[in-house]
Structure 1
Amino acid sequence: MEVTQRVLEILRITGALLEGHFILSSGLHSTNYVQCAKVFEYPEYGEEIGELIAKKVLDAGVKVDVVVGPALGGVIVAYEVSRKLKSRAIFTEREDNIMKLRRGFEIHEKENVLVVEDVVTTGKSTLEVVEVVESSGGQIVGFASVINRSGMENPFENLNEKFKGKPYFYLVKFDFPTYKPEDCPLCKSGIPAVKPGSRKMNAK
């Protein structure tokens, strides 16, 4: 079975594809949400997802020493990808709303780092992880996620010139519509919004 179809099948089986009125971690509103945590509720599917991403990385010949994911969404997927790459797996987390390494995690000078997320929309969380990696002396060799809903093939190249040529590996691309809160037709229709993600924020 083709990779995209297999991942879509897993998302449907686990109930990870949702429809409604959602506030994304980026602050944007959408009619659709992918709750990847539902996939990792089932270890066999989590392992398969990690293997599919790792295969893309290996096929591209990218050498990875450390896989880093932001808490909470990137923790398990980063771990599963690192298992298949036979690399270290660590995660960043926010303390006083600042992304950082804790729990004794370290990135050593010039280590090759792959940043892995569950879903990429604006790339904001990933860029926060990049700052942590680079401040520790690590070298970004690429990005990966289960879902790409950025609307671009490689959003990181558009976010910063220094990422030109850095690969972005993903399994499924969704072009769900997103809206700024002030432009959201669902808000204007009075449909209540829910925040299904993990990042704490105030809805507008």
Structure 2
Amino acid sequence: MQSWTLEAAIQRTGVLKEGHFLLSSGRHSAQYMQCAQLLQHPAESEEAGRALAALFADMPVDVVVGPALGGVIIAHETARALGVRCLFAERKEGRMTLRRGFTVQPGEKVLAIEDVVTTGGSVGEVVKLLEEMGTEVVAIGTIVDRSGGTAAFRQPYRALMSHTIDSYKAEECPLCRKGIPVVKPGSRESIKS
């Protein structure tokens, strides 16, 4: 791809959705970032992975780990660009864990990668798991930071882009007052606020 930019890729692949959405936090919004739309295209995924890898080229990394489901593809592409292995963590009985024979060694330097960070909850769970296993999580990265600056991590945190999305408590939602039907996108169960 010639002169790839994330902004153009988001436009090309329809990542930014408009409508009335129920977010995993339980809040409502008129916009939703669905990075799976970008990551379904191998060439776009590869470019996004290269761009993320470039953000962390100054750090030693032994392994890249992403949370299932959203972080799997972008973690893989970032790992490929860095020339290291890739693992993913998934929930089992409500707790993030490494399964499928994946292991890490104490002292390994880990880069945690996610597709979109809103609260940082999923990638934060991955970081906690990896630290409990004795690794050193050197940094956290994402394609899109939609936290509005509220995602707080102890490790360096870098994003390819930031995008703030206004959201509302269900009882204060102007879209609900207009009678616009709500859609629940994404892969996580809703958490009522």
Distance in 2 (alpha carbons) for counterparts of 1:86 and 1:76: 15
Verify: 1:95 aligned to 2:92, yes or no: yes
CA distance in 1, matches of 2:20, 2:162: 20
Which residue pairs with 2:184 in the alignment? 195
Q: Given that residues 26 and 121 in structure 1 are in contact (C-alpha distance below 8 angstroms), is that contact kept between their aligned partners in structure 2?
A: no
Q: Please give the root-mean-square deviation of Cα atoms over the aligned residues, in Å.
A: 1.8
* 1:102-141 Cα deviation digits (max 9, x unpaired): 1011111011111111000011111111121111111111
Calculate the TM-score normalised by the size of structure 2: 0.92
The aligned counterpart of 1:30 is: 29
Q: Say if 1:27 and 1:64 are closer, same or farther in 2 by CA, change over 3 A.
A: farther
Aligned residue runs from structure 1 range 46-85, under 5 A:
46-58=45-57, 61-85=58-82
| Greater helix fraction, Structure 1 or Structure 2 | 1
SS in 2 for 1:142: strand
Distance 1:182 1:139, change over 3 A: farther
Q: Does 1:185 align with 2:181?
A: no
User: Aligned match of 2:165 in 176, 181, 199?
Assistant: 176
**1:124 and 2:113 aligned:** no
User: Is the alpha carbon distance of 1:167 and 1:202 closer, same or farther for their aligned partners in structure 2, counting shifts above 3 Å?
Assistant: closer
**Shift in Å at residue 26 of structure 1?**
3.0
User: Which stretch shows the higher mean deviation, 24-33 or 93-102?
Assistant: 24-33
- Over the matched positions of the two proteins, sequence identity in percent amounts to 46
Residue 184 of structure 1 deviates from its aligned partner by 2.3
Q: TM-score, normalised by structure 1?
A: 0.87
Deviates more, 1:21-30 or 1:67-76: 21-30
Shift of 1:175: 1.2
SS class of match (2:51) = helix
- Which amino acid in the other structure matches residue 138 of structure 2? V
Letter in 2 for 1:11: I
SS of alignment partner, residue 82 of structure 1: helix
Q: Which 5+ residue runs of structure 2 have no aligned equivalent?
A: none
Q: Amino acid of the residue matched to residue 200 of structure 1?
A: E
Report the Cα offset of residue 202 of structure 1: 6.6
1:156 and 2:155 correspond = no
Q: CA deviation at 1:81?
A: 0.2
Q: Secondary structure at the match of 1:190?
A: coil
CA drift of 1:62 comes to 1.0
Contact 1:114–1:140, Cα closer than 8 Å, also in 2: yes
